[in-house]
C-alpha cells in the first residue's frame, strides 16, 4: 500500500526499502518486549512493521496525513499521533512506568532540532536510536580540538552517551539521498548537570557561534567578569571539553551571570 505513496520532498522523506538493513536497525534497539517504543516519522512503515511485531507498546508520530491514513489501515491497533515532531508536547507521551526508547529515521534538515528536543526530555527516556546524515553523526561524537567538534558534540556528550553503530548507504532508500547516513545510539545514563540546560546552551552557542575568536571575546556579551584564574579564556571554543563547558557554566551561575 505504502509503495504507491509518493515521497514529499518538502518533508525530507527517504523511505527504507532494504529488509536486511531494517532488521539490523530494529535489532539494535536495546529494549524489552513490553518497553515503550516511540517511532519518529514512520513514513510508509518500513520500521514500524518490525516494531509492532517485536514490541507491545509502540507509538508512532507522523506529520504526513497520507502516511497516517495508510498506517491506520495497516495497523489498526497502533497508537498513531498525527503531529509535527517539532511542535509535539512530549509530556503527553512520556508518562510511562516502563523504560522509553525512541527510534527514527530523521529528516536531514531538522535533525539538530529534533535532537535538542529529545535531549530536553532525556530524564524520561532510556535510549534513542536515530538515523541521520553521516556528517552530523560525526559531529556528535567528535572530540574536543577536532574541526567538526561543536555545539552538538558538547550537548549530546554531556546529556547522553552517543555511539555511531554503523553507516547506511543511499542505495537502501527510496528515493536515494545524496548523502550517506549513520545510525547513532544515545543512552541517557548521564547524571544531572551541575548547571541548567538553558544556561549551558547559552554559553556553548555563544562560544561556537564565534569559534574563531578567543573565548574572552566570544563570551564578552555575557557582561560579567570571567573567572580567569580557573579557566583559560585565551583558548578558542573547540579547546574546551564538554565537561569544561559544564564546569564553566556552573561557575558563571554561581557568579550570578544569568540572573
Three-class SS state of 9? helix
Neighbour tally for 84: CB within 10 Å:
11
Domain range 197-254, CATH architecture: Orthogonal Bundle (1.10)
**Preceding amide of 175 cis, omega within 30:** yes
Q: Which fold has domain 2-187?
A: Rossmann fold (3.40.50)
> Grid coordinates representing 122?
532525556
Taking the CA atoms of 189, 161, 32 and 64 in sequence, report the sign of the dihedral they define.
Answer: positive
At residue 10 the predicted structure's pLDDT band, cuts being 50, 70 and 90, is: very low
- Please check the confidence at residue 230 and state whether its pLDDT lies above 90: no
Predicted TM-score (pTM) above 0.95 = no
Rg (CA), the chain: 20
> Grid coordinates representing 92?
503527553
Listed range (7-21, 73-87, 120-134, 237-251) with the worst mean pLDDT: 7-21
Between CA 101 and CA 1 the distance in angstroms is: 27
Q: How far is CA 36 from the centre of its chain?
A: 18
Domains of the chain by residue range? 2-187, 197-254
Amino acid at each position: 500500500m505504502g509503495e504507491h505513496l509518493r515521497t514529499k520532498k518538502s518533508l525530507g522523506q527517504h523511505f527504507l526499502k532494504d529488509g536486511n538493513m531494517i532488521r539490523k536497525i530494529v535489532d539494535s534497539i536495546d529494549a524489552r518486549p513490553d518497553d515503550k517504543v516511540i517511532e519518529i516519522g514512520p513514513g510508509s512503515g518500513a520500521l514500524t512493521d518490525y516494531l509492532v511485531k517485536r514490541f507491545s507498546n509502540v507509538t508512532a508520530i507522523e506529520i504526513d496525513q497520507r502516511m497516517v491514513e495508510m498506517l491506520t489501515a495497516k495497523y489498526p491497533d497502533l497508537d498513531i499521533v498525527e503531529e509535527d515532531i517539532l511542535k509535539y508536547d512530549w509530556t503527553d507521551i512520556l508518562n510511562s512506568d516502563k523504560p522509553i526508547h525512541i527510534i527514527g529515521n530523521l529528516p536531514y534538515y531538522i535533525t539538530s532540532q529534533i535532537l535538542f528536543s529529545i535531549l530536553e526530555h532525556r530524564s524520561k527516556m532510556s535510549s534513542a536510536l536515530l538515523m541521520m546524515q553521516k556528517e552530523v553523526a560525526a559531529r556528535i561524537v567528535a572530540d574536543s580540538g577536532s574541526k567538526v567538534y561543536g555545539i552538538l558534540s558538547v550537548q549530546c556528550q554531556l546529556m547522553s552517551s552517543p555511539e555511531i553503530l554503523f553507516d547506511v548507504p543511499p542505495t537502501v532508500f527510496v528515493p536515494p539521498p545524496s548523502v550517506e547516513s549513520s545510525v547513532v545510539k544515545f543512552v541517557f545514563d548521564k547524571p544531572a548537570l551541575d548547571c541548567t540546560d538553558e544556561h549551558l546552551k547559552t554559553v556553548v552557542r555563544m562560544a561556537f557561534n564565534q569559534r574563531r575568536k578567543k573565548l574572552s571575546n566570544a563570551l564578552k556579551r555575557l557582561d560579567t567578569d570571567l573567572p580567569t584564574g580557573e579557566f583559560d579564556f585565551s583558548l578558542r571554543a573547540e579547546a574546551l571539553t564538554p565537561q569544561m563547558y559544564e564546569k564553566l557554566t556552573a561557575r558563571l551561575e554561581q557568579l550570578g551571570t544569568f540572573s
